[in-house]
Amino acid sequence: MRLRAFELDEPVPELNEPHALAILRPWVDVGNVGTMTLSRLESYYGAVQLAKLGRPGNFFDFTRYRPTLYFKEGRREIQVPNVTIAYAKVQKGHDFLFLRLLEPHMLAEVYIDSILQLFKRFGIKRYCLLGAMYDMIPYTRPLLVSGTASNPMLQKKLKAANVISSDYQGPTTIAFLISQQALQMGTETLSLIVHLPRYFMVENDYRGEIRLMEALGALYDFPMAQDDAEKAKQQEDQTRQIAEQMIAEEPRLRLILNQLEANYDSRVEENKEEVQLSPLSPDVEKFLQDLDRRFRQG
């Protein structure tokens, strides 16, 4: 079955007031936090593929999103980057759609309208964007989660989960129109974005996954990622060990850490996304670069 740009697998299910949980690569999926979280939920609920773009080349530049070659039963296959959507039926409560979105390079309006038509077809009641971004977060503090919600009830639940309100202004993704236009259709919208230390970059950030699942727990009865908790602890311990070793070698670096902590504490206290601080000095930037280099070396 065709629905705008999407090809739907048949038979097409009937869903009970579904909530759509989405990730958006590559914009807000650093450390694969959103990908790991969505994969966990799809596995828990036994999600089934529902749809994908019929012609992804209409929207994506395949010199930027590269196809992947792999072997399957001795044959060489190619995987073409695409948007995939899965669904899960839940015995009690709302059903779910799980959206793995890519930022479009072309025909963005058609792309977004196709997603919204899918929302109309299945009667989506809530759209939630999940992800992570890099930020100036000190390793000595819990990971921040920022978010927005379209109504006071949702905002209150996010605040209870220690999610700070986002008042960001500046460059964004064209995919933000999905939230904006879904709200105009009467769909609840919200976002949950984990802030990760930009100087400790790892391919799979289990600390971010755990923190995102904690925030989601304020909205849903989702299982915690217990099997990844030990990996998260190992990453946290490694971060602390490397940073403290560097501070021991150069005690004045403690002042830099104090600046990062002051920034963090101000944001939490004032519940703001941005707090105006003086620009980081070259020494601070060098310290952060050295931290990242040494962390990658293990």
| Mean pLDDT for the stretch of residues 167-182 | 90
* pLDDT at 276 exceeding the cut of 90: no
Q: Of 86 and 141, which is predicted with more confidence?
A: 86
193-215 confidence digits (pLDDT tens) = 999 988 788 899 999 999 999 99
Q: How confident is the model at residue 228 (pLDDT cuts 50, 70, 90)?
A: confident
Instruction: Say which CATH topology domain 2-227 has.
Output: Rossmann fold (3.40.50)
What is the pTM for the complete model shown? 0.87
SS3 of the chain: the string is: CEECCEEECCCCCCCCCCEEEEEEECCCEHHHHHHHHHHHHHHHHCCEEEEEECCHHHCCCCCCCCCEEEEECCEEEEECCCCEEEEECCCCCCCEEEEEEECCCCCHHHHHHHHHHHHHHHCCCEEEEEEEEEECCCCCCCCEEEEEECCHHHHHHHHHCCEEECCCCCCCCCCHHHHHHHHHCCCEEEEEEEEEECCCCCCCCHHHHHHHHHHHCCCCCCCCCHHHHHHHHHHHHHHHHHHHHHHHHCCCHHHHHHHHHHHHHHHHHHCCCCCCCCCCCHHHHHHHHHHHHHHHHC
Domain locations along the chain: 2-227
Whether the per-residue pLDDT at 288 is higher than 70: the answer is: no
For residue 278, is pLDDT > 70? no
Which tens digits make up the pLDDT trace of 9-50?
999 999 999 999 999 999 899 999 999 999 999 999 999 999
Q: For residue 285, is pLDDT > 70?
A: no
